Chain A
Amino acid sequence: MSMDSFLFWFLAFITIASAVTVVTITNPIYSALALAMTMVGVSAIFVTLGAYFLAGVQLIVYAGAVTVLFVMVLMLFDLKHELSAFSRGQISGTIKVATAAALAGLLIGAIVWTVSGFERVVSKPAAPDSADGMRELSHALFTKYVFGFEVLGILLLIIAVGVVALARAKGGTHAQR
């Protein structure tokens, strides 16, 4: 086994093991930390593919910002209550694992179904110096795919406004219980 394939299988194992841990572990904090580990693993796989910029952005956005917020919010909860309410029961645990399995099956099915119509092309990895690759990426993002890109931005904006509106409607931080 060559160094590259060993690295790939090693990283894939770490990523998938932590992704499974996210679903199966009972403690929400460990679950969120395992999610962060998954993000780091995905980013490392990007590095092995030569996509350094994507790897960095993956780390900054998901591991560095989104999951940190998850962890921060989870730490404020009374976790003993959460543990017994959500994760201990056999029925709810089964539903949790089954949901995750169904989602994974859907995704794999979608990928296989989409790819089956294409010819198989083995592309060579991007050049180690990815400055040009980055230029191409941003060019494509702002010309060919600009519509999808902007729609995604608006979607995020709507989510942010919606969250503020929901919180406001219930009285915000000054809510009367």
Chain B
Amino acid sequence: MRRQVFMVSALSGALLLLVAFSAGATGAGEKAAPSGGPATIQYAYWGDQNEEITTTALLKTFMDKNPNITVEGLRFGSNTEFDQKITTLAAAGTLPDVSTFYEPNVLTWGMSGKFVDLTDFYKKGPPKLDVIKFITPDGKIVGISVANEIMVIWYSKKIFDAAGLPYPPAEASKAWTWDHFVDVSKKLTKDANGKTPNDADFDKDNIRTFGFWVTQWWMPWLTFAASNGGGLTTPDGKKLIMDDPATIDAIQKMADMINVHHVSPVPGSQNMPGAIGTALLSGQVAMAMDGTWDLLTLGTTKEQQGLDFGIGVLPYMKKLATTSVGTPEVVYKSTKHLNESLALLGFLMDPNSSLPLLQNGIWLPNEKQWYTDPTLLQKWIGNPRHPEEYKTAVVDFALNYSHQLPLYIVPTFAKMDDVISAALGQVWLGQKSAADVIKNEIMPKITPIFQGK
């Protein structure tokens, strides 16, 4: 009996040791294939079922044009799911060859040498927009957004008509000042009795229509900070200017929309499913600041439910500004088929390949000439989905006034944003002033992070 017990324990112990050691080892890489011959590469991306259909069709077009390359598509449900799963794949050593990537982590991965340096690759071909290039501190381009998206004002024409007010301007030259914007928002905000914040008996606990709505993530406040001459960092990403009076002022002005002027809903209210289209259609919101990707949803809501919406340029505080964002495409250094992967990258980054997505309104192109050349313009905005004012309110606005977000050049952005987003919650709720929170709570925490400690 002792012998059996000993034998089984020894066996289990050996197995345990074996498993424990192999648990730390990384797995094998991709399948090797002779270069020049047929190659199989994997392209990972995120999106819903509709995007899966579009992407699969796109990959098929690529494969038809390149018969000796097979592309396997790997879809994830959302960008955060992608972020989690790609980490797991990295640990297992089974990364794809090409993929989209979750923006906040592009630079950390790039600096760890996970991505191919694409600087030379992008020297060929038509120039891409400068504001959407992911550049590591040592100057390597590790990814470029496949699409461009800016922030604009979406508004309900019905509410403006009912109030007898002129629509938000669609041209940068006619953009509203911030004060005028606040004024208009107040006129459009109505409580259950139809009173506006300008009326004495306005009931701020019973607002039925909000003049202005924006979600409190980093893109809106960074946009208005840029408009006010501030920001998180200087444009070269070398110095923190979060506590610059211009930045503090911009954030305070945004918070005042909620707590002083009562024209915006409480934060967290925006996490409603079906967000912007429903809000505009149901009259809960007159104007919303959100990304140009909404054209797909709003366009569909217009066609199916008759939402009459318009697009306007953003109001400005000191200078005209909007910001750009867009999902990047990256190539992994661990790929066994670099040439084939670069071929796929070139194909995906070509606006001609994403023409359906440009036409249905969800994307803007990543090349400068598509904003200026009339023939190319006609290709993607010459359809009913894109309203008349799109050319001036979006295309020209993006080309001339878009600022680069720190996300593209500051590797510690995500970690700093954890602190900033959390602390600013108090400002949006009106519990503390922006100056207090930024100077006393945010700066002491993000300064060591920024310096890499």
Q: Do A and B bind each other?
A: no
Give me the interface of A with B, judged by CB distance under 8 Å.
none
Interface residues of B (CB under 8 A from A): none
